[in-house]
């Protein structure tokens, strides 16, 4: 290809130079033309070499298709058998350009992917599309005692904005040992703004879902754990989700960390279902932050819920500043007769701000409801 373009360019160049012969001497034109042609051919050779290098890079990337076509279509396929562009999810994430301006979908074919994946702030607009959460799983086994901190235990971490995941499972398989220390084991951590999760599953024990910072939307997803298994300081709406409690010596569904009255964060659960069984009941939430905010609306509670509902994290002062509420919930665990006096049954007006996508400014970024 480089030789063909070189020949075309040289013919055009000769035509231009020939016109100069009308005003210049033959000897001067011949000398200039020889130097120009040599320089021009050198440039063509460099272009050809760069083009060949690009082709070689595409072929060596593990892709079964043309790299430029893959970028243009915005689709990358991950398949453990080698039938896709890459065999691992990490390779696919690495292939997305920095500060990506266009949506990229990473399609993950069925399989159990044993790897830890981090999506950095610079990898924008990625959609991770599984083949069904029952057949597509990303898993690892790391607890805080292994890595040093809860933050670094996550199987999958998202720091980028506009990240979406669909129909895939995130798991941290580290077991919970009753009475043990440093057992926090995060399946997914999200600190990116405008992140959405549809039809996903988050499997773990203690600290399963680190809903850390940013606005997030979880729809028709399954979250499984035993202790504080939805925690952090995000501002998130959970819609039509199942929160499944695993047997333990007692724990909490949520541990929200709102730190001040002016901080606009909190968790809202709408049309959700709390399931599970075990030797002990669990709290709906406990006040990790002094201004912790959690609301449940139109949700069904199994009898796994501790009748008092909420816990102050051994700090009575937090009872005056947290915001914990229920709105038209039902089921054997929803009875408010024995709830702590500092939680509330919300009025229509109090519940309204938490009920829709407007709570997370979803009209600006959520593409499907």
Query: What residues are labeled active site?
Result: 228
Name the phi and psi angles at 355, rounded to 5: -90, -20
Listed in sequence order, the residues at least 6 apart from 31 whose beta carbon sits closer than 8 Å to its beta carbon are none
Which structure tokens are listed for 330? 């039902």
For residue 156, report the phi and psi dihedrals to the nearest 5 degrees.
-135, 125
Centroid of chain to Cα 365: 14
d(CA 246, CA 352): 31
Rounded Cα gap, residues 95 and 89, in angstroms: 10
Asked if 223 contacts 242 with a C-beta cutoff of 8 angstroms, the reply is: yes
Positive or negative torsion for Cα 341, 347, 349, 351: positive
All residues at 6 or more sequence positions from 350 whose CB lies less than 8 Å from its CB, including other chains: 325, 327, 344
Contacts of 203 (CB under 8 A, 6+ apart): 169, 170, 171, 172, 173, 187, 222, 224
Give the tokens for residue 12.
């055009």
Cα separation, 185 vs 107, in Å, equals 26
- Alpha-carbon gap, residue 198 to 367, rounded angstroms: 11
26-60 vs 2-20: helix crossing angle, rounded to 10: 160
In whole angstroms, give the CA distance from residue 136 to residue 93. Answer: 17
């Amino acid at each position: 290809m480089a030789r063909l373009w070189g020949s075309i360019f040289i013919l055009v160049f000769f035509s231009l130079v020939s016109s100069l012969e009308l005003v210049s001497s033959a000897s001067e034109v011949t000398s200039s033309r020889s130097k120009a042609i040599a320089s021009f051919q050198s440039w063509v050779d460099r272009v050809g070499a760069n083009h060949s290098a690009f082709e070689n890079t595409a072929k060596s990337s593990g892709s079964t298709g043309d790299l430029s076509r893959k970028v243009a279509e915005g689709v990358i396929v991950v398949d453990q058998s080698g039938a896709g562009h890459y065999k691992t999810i990490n390779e696919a994430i690495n292939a997305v350009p920095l500060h990506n301006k266009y949506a990229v979908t990473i399609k993950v074919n069925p399989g159990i992917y044993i790897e830890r994946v981090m999506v950095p702030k610079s990898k924008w607009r990625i959609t991770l599309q599984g083949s069904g959460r029952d057949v597509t799983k990303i898993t690892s086994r790391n607890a805080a005692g292994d890595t040093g901190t809860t933050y670094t235990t996550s199987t999958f971490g998202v720091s980028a904005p506009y990240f979406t995941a669909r129909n895939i499972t995130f798991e941290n398989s580290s077991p919970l040992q009753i009475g043990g220390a440093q057992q926090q084991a995060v399946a997914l951590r999200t600190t990116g703004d405008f992140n959405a999760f549809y039809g996903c599953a988050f499997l773990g024990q203690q600290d399963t879902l680190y809903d850390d910072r940013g606005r997030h939307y979880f729809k028709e997803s399954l979250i499984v754990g035993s202790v504080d298994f939805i925690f952090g300081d995000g501002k998130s709406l959970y819609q039509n989700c199942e929160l499944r409690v695993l047997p333990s010596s007692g724990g909490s569904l949520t541990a929200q960390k709102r730190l001040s009255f002016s901080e606009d964060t909190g968790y809202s659960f709408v049309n959700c279902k709390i399931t599970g069984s075990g030797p002990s009941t669990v709290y709906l939430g406990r006040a990790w932050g002094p201004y912790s905010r959690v609301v449940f609306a139109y949700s069904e509670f199994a009898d796994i819920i501790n009748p008092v509902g909420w816990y102050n994290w051994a700090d009575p002062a937090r009872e005056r500043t947290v915001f914990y509420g229920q709105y038209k919930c039902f089921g054997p665990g929803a009875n408010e007769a024995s709830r702590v006096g500092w939680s509330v049954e919300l009025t229509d007006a109090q519940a309204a701000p938490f009920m829709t996508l407007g709570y997370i400014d979803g009209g600006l970024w959520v593409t499907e409801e």
